[in-house]
Amino acid sequence: MINILLLALNTLKITFRKKSNIFVFIVIPIIITVISMAMYSNVGSGKTQIGILNKDKGMFSKDLIASIEKKEDFKVLMVEEKDIKDKVSTGKLDCAIVIPEDFSDNIYNNSFKELEIMSIKGEGSTIWIQNYINYYIKNLLDMSKASSGNKETLNKMYEGYKNSDLKLNVEKVEDKTQGKIVIMTSLGFLLMFIMIGTNTTSTLMLKERKNRTYYRICSAPVNIRNYILGNVLANLLIVIVQVSLVVLVAEKILKINTYVPFYMLIGILTVFGLVSIALGVLIVSVSNSTAQAGYMANLIITPTSMLGGCFWPVDIMPGPVKALADFMPQKWALDAISKIQYGGSLYDIRLNIAILFGFIAAFFLIAIYNMNHREKVRSFV
């Protein structure tokens, strides 16, 4: 154990011998992540921009649009069909609703299914308008069913429904959905920084093999497992400091609500840090030089971060691509955080944590096997 601690301290000493590495490993991730989180204060306060394309000329579609326009949290913009995709993809609209030309007829026939809602921001940005529309249409379909397909009867029932003296007590609640989306995106960037940092520190093993420092270390009573554990411990200390400072600055200083208890967020990020460390050691174990390790890291970290939901929600990805996300550790870490944000407990994320530890075990076992093999044949260049 003493040897492992000494190796970890030596790794930390070498890593932070350059003062600029403090900025690279600690300061930059904190600044970028916290600034991204700070955007929360500007998110959710404005109205949801909803574009509507109405192909139906009936009474029900016009009244549906009018009812949406009355809602304080929604801003309705009528759009042309040729402009919908462009305005949604560029963020000019939070979502777009397409009302089909047979909307009113399908209400009369009690055969309507659902409206098409387009968004690139995931379900979180459309859930409120979707629930409102579903509730509104359900009332219409219930009246249609009660009228047994008779249009005059339905029209009378609908007029009575619109002119009802029913009064509702309205209590405005804070919409936290957009804030949670921003927090998830910020934490996605933090996961990528963790992966970059742990990989950079792990490549120190390659440098020590290249300049033969590794073999001098191994002349002492140190085996390959102790050597790896020393590097892992050093990396883990860096990760813990990194994520703790990010969360402390965000929650305690800037008072940003991450919607996750402090200790649970630190725990999930630390487990993911172990995944990143294991991946870094694996990359080192199959690399012949620091340059090759760097190339491999670039080919792995950025694409897996994209597929794992670090840059955008997994929900908006096409089906086949979304299936690939299940093989990315980033997806399981972010999914665990999301479950806690929406009221989950440790029990609810047990599968996520188990899968992350599965990644850790697989990466470390492969890395140890590769490094033992290299030790036997002294194949490092």
The Cα angle at residue 80 between residues 316 and 57, in degrees rounded to 5: 110
Mean pLDDT for the chain? 79
How many other C-beta atoms lie within 10 A of the C-beta of residue 319?
6
Contacts of 1 (CB under 8 A, 6+ apart): none
pLDDT for the residue 212: 58
How many other C-beta atoms lie within 10 A of the C-beta of residue 196?
21
Amino acid 76 reads V
Task: Tell me the pLDDT tens digit for each residue of 210-255.
Answer: 665 555 555 556 666 777 787 788 888 888 888 888 888 888 887 7
> CA–CA separation, 362 vs 144, rounded Å?
58
Q: Rounded to two decimals, what is the model's pTM?
A: 0.64
> CA–CA separation, 267 vs 289, rounded Å?
33
C-beta separation of 209 from 380 below 8 A: yes
How many other C-beta atoms lie within 10 A of the C-beta of residue 139?
12
pLDDT for the residue 175: 54
pLDDT for the residue 74: 79
C-beta separation of 54 from 65 below 8 A: yes
pLDDT for the residue 323: 86
Which range, of 43-47, 90-94, 107-111, 179-183, averages the lowest pLDDT? 43-47
pLDDT for the residue 168: 45
Pairing of strands 95-99, 48-54: parallel
Q: In the numeric block, which tokens belong to residue 201?
A: 């520190």
Rounded (to 5) percent helix, strand, coil in the chain = 70, 5, 25
How many other C-beta atoms lie within 10 A of the C-beta of residue 286?
14
Contacts of 18 (CB under 8 A, 6+ apart): none
Contacts of 65 (CB under 8 A, 6+ apart): 52, 54, 76, 99
Q: Coil, strand or helix: which one is 173?
A: coil
Which is nearest to 133 in space by CA: 67, 53, 54? 67
The CATH code that applies to domain 46-162 is 3.40.190.10
329 pLDDT band (50/70/90 cuts)?
Answer: very high
Pairing of strands 116-118, 95-99: antiparallel
Q: Where are the domains of the chain?
A: 2-41+177-377, 46-162
Environment class of residue 62 by beta-carbon count within 10 Å: exposed (0-12), middle (13-18) or buried (19+)? Answer: middle
Pick the more confident residue, 99 or 28.
99
What's the whole-number mean pLDDT along residues 299-310?
89
C-beta separation of 284 from 206 below 8 A: yes
Residue 172 has pLDDT above 60, yes or no: no
pLDDT for the residue 330: 92
Most confident of 20-34, 171-185, 256-270: 256-270
Residue 316 has pLDDT above 80, yes or no: no
pLDDT for the residue 45: 47
Task: Tell me the pLDDT tens digit for each residue of 268-282.
Answer: 999 999 999 899 888
Q: In the numeric block, which tokens belong to residue 314?
A: 């997994």
